Amino acid sequence: MSQTVVFPGSAVSPHEDQAAPETRIRSYWQSVGYRLRHDKATVFFGTMVLLIVLSAVLAPWLAPFDPYKESIIGRLKPMGWRGHLLGTDELGRDMLSRLLYGGRVSLLMGIVPVIFATCAGGALGVIAGFMGGKVNTGIMRTMDVFYAFPSVLLAVAISGAMGGGMSNGMLALTLVFIPPMCRVAETATTQVRALDFIEAARATGAGTMTIVRHHVLGNVLGPVFIYASSLVSVSILLASGLSFLGLGVRPPTADWGLMLSTLRQSIYVVPVVCALPGVAIFITSICFNLVSDGLRQAMDVRM
C-alpha cells in the first residue's frame, strides 16, 4: 500500500501558511508503526508475548531442575519446597522447569500450524478470488465442506484418525485452519480484483502472475496477517485440548495441556500447583488475542 497519513508534531515547508498546524506525511507502514508504538496496551501485551517466547526458547538455561527427573519422596509438594519455586507434579518433577519446557511445545504447536495454514489457505484463497468462475466455485465449495464441522471436533477427529502424536496434532490443526484462512484471502482478493488499478494493469499488458505479485498480494496480506495472528491463541487452546485428551503430545514430554491432564486427579491435594498449566495457557492466549486486536486497529486505514 502507498497510503499516507498526516501526524502532528513535525515541521512544514516554510512556504506553507505559518498558522497551519505542523504536520508530517508518513507512509502506510510508518503510520502502522506509529499507532502500535503509541498503543500502551498492545505494547504491554506484546512485551508479555516476547517474554513468554524468550522463556520458552531459553528454557534449557532458565530451568532450575531437570524437567524429566522424578522423585518418589517429592511428589505433589507445595510451592517453595526444597528450592522448587512452583512445587512438584505427581511424579516429583519440578513444575517451573516443566512449565518452561512445556511452553516450547505449546508455542510450537500453536504457531507452526498457523504458519502452514496461512501459506496454504492464503494461496488457495488468492487463486480462488482472482480467477473466479469455476475455479472459485470448486475451491470454495471444497472449503465449505470443512465448515460443516466445528473446529474442535474436526481437530479431534483428524488427530484421532491419524493416531495422535505431536506431528499428527500439528497436521490436524493445519487442516482445520486452512478453510477459514482461505475464506479471508478469497474475500480480500475478490474485493481487490474489482478495483480500477487492476484493470489498468491488465490494460498495460501485465500478466496474471505480475498483477498478483505486485498489485494483489500487497493489499491481501494485511487482512490475512491480522487473521493469522488471531488464530495463534486458538491454535494454542486446540493443541492443549488435544494433549489433554491424549491425542497430542505423549508422555513424558512436557506440554501444558498434557500437564493439565495428568494433574487433574490431584487437584484436591495441591490445587494451586495443579492449576499452573491452565494459568499458563490462559495468559498466553489472552496476550496473543490482545496483540492481535492491537494489530487490527493499527492496520485499519479508517482509524
> For the segment 112-144, what is each residue's pLDDT rounded down to a tens digit?
999 999 999 999 999 998 888 898 899 999 998
The reply to whether 54 falls in a domain is yes
Q: What is the pLDDT of residue 302?
A: 57
Number of domains the chain is built from: 1
Mean pLDDT of the chain: 85
The reply to whether 238 falls in a domain is yes
Q: Give the integer Cα–Cα distance in Å for 262 and 112.
A: 25
The structure's pTM equals 0.84
Residue located via cell numbers 480467477: 131
pLDDT band at 11 (very low <50, low <70, confident <90, very high): very low
The reply to whether 15 falls in a domain is no
The reply to whether 34 falls in a domain is yes
Helix and strand tally (H, E) in the chain?
12, 2
Q: Give the integer Cα–Cα distance in Å for 69 and 214.
A: 54
Q: What is the pLDDT of residue 7?
A: 42
CATH code of 173's domain: 1.10.3720.10
The answer to whether the CB of 75 falls within 8 A of the CB of 90 is yes
pLDDT band at 14 (very low <50, low <70, confident <90, very high): very low
Residue from 138, 143, 65 nearest 97 by CA: 65
Q: What percent of the chain has pLDDT over 70?
A: 90
Taking residues 79-93, report their average pLDDT: 90
The reply to whether 17 falls in a domain is no
The reply to whether 157 falls in a domain is yes
The answer to whether the CB of 108 falls within 8 A of the CB of 236 is no
Q: What is the pLDDT of residue 147?
A: 81
Grid cell at residue 291:
496483540
Phi-psi map region of 126: left, alpha, beta (phi>0 left; psi -120 to 50 alpha): alpha
φ, ψ for residue 261 (rounded to 5)?
Answer: -70, -45
What is the DSSP secondary structure assignment for residue 22, as one 8-state letter? P
Which amino acid, residue 258? L
The reply to whether 201 falls in a domain is yes
The answer to whether the CB of 170 falls within 8 A of the CB of 114 is no
Write out the residue range of the structural domain in which residue 116 sits. 4-8+25-299
- For residue range 156-191, list pLDDT tens digits in order: 998 888 888 888 999 999 999 999 999 999 998 988
The reply to whether 13 falls in a domain is no
Q: What is the pLDDT of residue 24?
A: 57
89-to-135, 219, 275, 295 alpha-carbon distances in Å = 54, 49, 11, 38
Q: What is the pLDDT of residue 216?
A: 80
Residue located via cell numbers 508534531: 9
- For residue range 22-34, list pLDDT tens digits in order: 345 567 677 878 8
